[in-house]
Amino acid sequence: MIDEILKDRILALIKREVVPAVGCTEPVAVALAAARAAELLGMPRDAVERVECRLSGNIIKNAMGVGIPGTGMIGLPIAVALGVLAGRAELGLEVLAGVTPDVVEQGKAMLAHKGSVDIALEPHAPDILYIDVRVYGGGHTARAVIEGSHTHFVLLERDGSRVDCGSVQSADAHAGECGDNIELSLRTVWDFAMTTPVDELSFILETRHLNKAAAEWALMEPYGHHVGRTLHSERQRRVMGDSTFSRILSYTSAACDARMGGAPVAVMSNSGSGNQGIAATMPVVVYAEETYADIEHTVRALTLSHLTAIYIKQSLGCLSALCGCVVAATGSSAGICYLMGGGFEQVAGTVKNMVANLTGMICDGAKPSCALKLTSGVSTAVISAMVAMDGESVSSLEGIIDDCVDRTIHNLTTIGREGMTQTDSLILDIMTSKTARD
């Protein structure tokens, strides 16, 4: 059982890590830093003359190829310009919400001046998630630094003098990287999701509202690579059929299409990633609707899914070379298994099946084709749950799987956090060399 103190801490943890975001969280986090620096400058926004951004490799990797909502443009420069001109730092990851077409045109005009926005790698970044933005104008300069998580300001300066971060910190109240210092286990996650009064968990239904709305947006309008629309089309139904499984794939990938393609909609993120929030939400939502699950089972399944993803991210870290769909789809596999009637042992078996299957899928940046990876992840989630419900899970004699599900999870995260470090560097080198050739 979960005692009241631990229950309240886990509730606070979920509410910190499952939050709305407009646009991909990496360019949005850079826009957030730019907005805060521009606010500190204390001048009209259009008086900003120059912006310098020094970023860790993973921030650059995850921001190069994504659409910025409401702009029809891709990548960091326009996100930075919009953050400077109209971003509201108090909105956190919704900093660009409400940006108008007029502001977009101002942003384009700003970028037309060569050197107005300078973006470069910080080779000695103190953290894998590091954003250092300086703005200049009217003989003054201001600086905002984010480190450790997407809204965690660690330094604010105006003309070289430090400014208290407290007012900005209160907007996210992060205590640490991706999930406080609560020592979770899968059993703790399960007990919390199963025993906490439903009315205290009902806030998790907002993930269903936001992420399903994003999916429906992309099923109506073409975004990204149209993966969701393709899977939802009549032609594709003749191949895959019109089933719960096919609808899980189409709705999950459609929400990712919308987010990566720059649709002006918010999604509910998980551990700083909108795609992880989508993958932890949509498979569970669709399965619950298709099986006529009641509100209590839906709420508990979504809680189990999102908290499982948070638990895994605690030891993996916010950004890594391991694709986040492995994490989030593992969460949704647990939620689906529960909706199938599974207990803790079946859920643990499902998680082992997921780790055995998807470990090693690389993250080569946030981009429209992430919809394909999410489709791979959630299809594996459904299969893993079905196999576990049939009494089968990968054994400790096979690969990195351990008899203990928590050690299995830590084997996964150790590979992603430590074993794939060189992979991450190589991915960034390949991506930036393509940009240099262009």
- Give the pLDDT confidence of 94-117 residue by residue, as tens digits: 898 878 999 999 999 999 988 899
Tokens 């139904």 belong to residue = 237
**Residue 73: strand pairing partners:** 68
Q: Is 345 left (phi over 0), alpha (psi -120 to 50) or beta?
A: alpha
Q: Which tokens hold the place of 222?
A: 């073409």
Q: Where are the alpha helices (DSSP H) in 57-119?
A: 57-63, 76-86, 101-112
pLDDT value, residue 422? 87
Residues in CB range of 209: below 8 A, 6 or more apart: none
pLDDT value, residue 129? 93
d(CA 211, CA 269): 9
pLDDT value, residue 386? 97
Taking residue 389's Cβ as centre, other Cβ atoms within 10 Å add up to 17
Q: What is residue 69's three-state secondary structure? A: coil
Contact 401, 352 (CB under 8 A): yes
Domain with CATH 1.10.4100 in the chain: 186-435
Terminal-residue alpha carbon distance, the chain? 57
pLDDT value, residue 180? 54
At residue 166 the predicted structure's pLDDT band, cuts being 50, 70 and 90, is: low
Amino acid at 367: K
pLDDT value, residue 437? 57
Residue with the bigger pLDDT between 326 and 352: it is: 352
pLDDT value, residue 213? 96
Contact 275, 368 (CB under 8 A): no
d(CA 269, CA 224): 19
Contact 234, 378 (CB under 8 A): no
d(CA 384, CA 153): 39
At residue 16 the predicted structure's pLDDT band, cuts being 50, 70 and 90, is: very high
pTM: 0.88
Q: What percent of the chain is modeled with pLDDT above 90? A: 67
**Residue 137: strand pairing partners:** 140
Task: List phi, psi (to 5°) of 68.
Answer: -100, 125
At residue 300 the predicted structure's pLDDT band, cuts being 50, 70 and 90, is: very high
Give how far Cα 430 sits from Cα of 54, 62, 222, 326, 363, Å: 19, 13, 29, 22, 13
Cα torsion angle, 245, 17, 318, 88, sign: positive
At residue 173 the predicted structure's pLDDT band, cuts being 50, 70 and 90, is: very low
Asked whether residue 408 carries a pLDDT value surpassing 90, the answer given is yes
Q: What is residue 174's three-state secondary structure? A: coil
d(CA 367, CA 66): 5
CATH 3.30.1330 fits 25-169, yes or no: yes
d(CA 271, CA 51): 28
Separation of CA 318 from chain center: 9
Asked whether residue 308 carries a pLDDT value surpassing 90, the answer given is yes
Q: Which of 22-26, 58-62, 409-413, 422-426 has the highest mean pLDDT?
A: 409-413
Residues in CB range of 91: below 8 A, 6 or more apart: 97
Residue range 225-234: mean pLDDT, rounded: 88
pLDDT, tens digit (0-9, with 9 covering 90-100), for 176-212:
444 456 889 999 999 999 999 999 999 999 999 999 9
What is the CATH T-level fold of the domain 186-435, as seen in this structure? 2-methylcitrate dehydratase PrpD (1.10.4100)
Query: In which element (H, E) is residue 68 found?
Result: strand 67-68
Q: Where are the alpha helices (DSSP H) in 241-369?
A: 244-260, 274-290, 295-316, 324-339, 344-358
Amino acid at 273: S
Asked whether residue 122 carries a pLDDT value surpassing 50, the answer given is yes
Residue range 325-337: mean pLDDT, rounded: 93
Tell me, what DSSP letter sits at residue 416?
A: I
Q: What is residue 65's three-state secondary structure? A: coil
CA-nearest of 309, 321, 16 to 152 is 16
pLDDT value, residue 429? 87
**Residue 135: strand pairing partners:** 51, 142
pLDDT value, residue 88? 93
Q: Pairing state of beta strands 73-74 and 50-55?
A: unpaired
Separation of CA 413 from chain center: 17
CA-nearest of 159, 150, 84, 77 to 120 is 77
pLDDT value, residue 176? 43
Contact 3, 13 (CB under 8 A): no
Residue range 166-177: mean pLDDT, rounded: 46
pLDDT value, residue 435? 59
Asked whether residue 394 carries a pLDDT value surpassing 80, the answer given is yes
| Average pLDDT of the chain, as a whole number | 91
pLDDT, tens digit (0-9, with 9 covering 90-100), for 262-292:
888 889 999 988 999 999 999 999 999 999 9
Domain with CATH 3.30.1330 in the chain: 25-169
